Structure 1
Amino acid sequence: MLRTIISNEWFTVLILLSVGILAFTRYSYNSRFIDFLGLLGNSKYLKIYSRDQKFIDQFDSLLFTNLLISGTIFIYVCYGVLYSPVDFEWALFLKILLLFGTVLLIKVLIERLIGSVFEIDSLIHEYVFQKTNYKNYIGLVLLPLNVLLIYALPLSKTLIYAILGLIILINLSGFFTSIKANQKLILANFFYFILYLCALEIGPYIILYQVITD
């Protein structure tokens, strides 16, 4: 077992910041936030709020900010457990945060560009909305898990892999929800769908992994 993080003060500040963001989101969008919590159980949230989606939505932006913070903390801890024990360093944390956020934002912009070029904006907007919400849900799940990793549980590779498995399952849940909703279109353009998977769903995370580990 490993305990790789020696000084936790800055992690405490960042976790409290995420808690504050979620508390503000819950206070400002109480009904929507409660519906969002049930995202994995049913598609009610997606059906209700996909109709009112905006290019920049404050609710989604707040949850995305939490995803960036919680996701970066988790990546930082993963790096310490799987590769090299490391104390908190702002330079490394901000590097991971910037890379993580850039990958996510560029993916969304490229997907919206594809929708505009091929005149399937409404379809792409719905697809991006679904994916964004499942990723934001991962950010919600990571917050308490980060608390346990940093303050309570003895760190181990097995534990990290288990959490990574949970993240993959949530991602797959969102992915298959999108496939089910657009099954006919995907089957009619299966080759382009495979290209999309390699270029925008798998490739960016491989690049992110290589940059961080290097």
Structure 2
Amino acid sequence: MIREIINTDIITLIFIVCLICIALSKLIYTKRFEIFSYLVVNNRYTKLFSKDQHFIELFDGILFINLCLNAAIFFYLFINSLVGERISQLLILKYALLIACFFIVKVLLERLLSSIFEIELLIKDYLFTKTSYRNYLGLLLLPINAILIYSVTPNLNTLIIISLLGLTVFSLGLLTFFKANLNVFKRSMFYFILYLCALEIAPYLIVYQFIAIK
């Protein structure tokens, strides 16, 4: 069966931007990128760089752009599979902007809430770990998206499986962090549970309900 040929000019340009972002991060932060590339194998990256982190990091910012664009492409493919027809590729840019705004606002609220609960140091390392694993998933999504766009016509089941695998990688990374900081979490367990309910569960439920209504 011959695969349907689809104009992918906009997506190709987005892929080029993503490759430029990755190349820049590797060029400017060669050693850091090398250590970062082994994030799922060991937690050396988070140990080395979590203590010296700043609120705005160029390295994380560049990879965050790649993450938002690739997440938007993947969401575009997901929507296409759900509606059963091709939608405008320009929507990818809208999705990327919405994803970026969601994560930025969420981080700001997380920092505010951690200050209110007086668990800033704990949440600071936790946010760094989350950011690192999210950006790493952005790297993984780039080749996956390229295959789904140019080689394989994805169906809904394939996209769900990929989503679950990504969620598993992300969850294992957080579990590693929790295990390494278990004693610290125990001292602030009540406030951390409130934090999880308020900013780790509720926002995604709201987004799910919004998408479901749409």
Q: What is the TM-score of this pair, normalised by structure 1?
A: 0.89
Post-superposition CA distance 1:152-171 (Å, at most 9, x none): 11211221112111111122
Alignment of structure 1 residues 1-214 onto 2, 5 Å: 6-90=6-90, 92-212=91-211, 214=214
Percent of aligned positions with the same letter in both sequences?
Answer: 41
How many pairs were matched up?
A: 212
Residues 18 and 66 in structure 1, CA contact (< 8 A), matched pair in contact too: yes
CA apart distance, 1:186? 3.4
Q: Give SS of 2:6's match.
A: coil
Secondary structure (helix, strand or coil) at the match of 2:50 reads helix
For residues 28-58 of structure 1, what are the alpha-carbon distances to aligned partners after superposition, in whole Å with 9 as ceiling and x for unaligned? 1111001000001111111111121011000
What displacement does 1:190 show?
A: 4.3
Contact persistence 2:69–2:93 (CA under 8 A): no
CA contact (8 A) 1:76 1:93 kept: yes
Q: Unpaired segments of 5 or more residues in structure 1? A: none
Q: CA RMSD in A?
A: 2.2
Structure 2 unaligned spans of 5+: none
The answer to which of 132-141 and 178-187 deviates more is: 178-187
User: Deviations for 1:126-147, whole angstroms, at most 9, x for unmatched residues?
Assistant: 1110110000011010000000
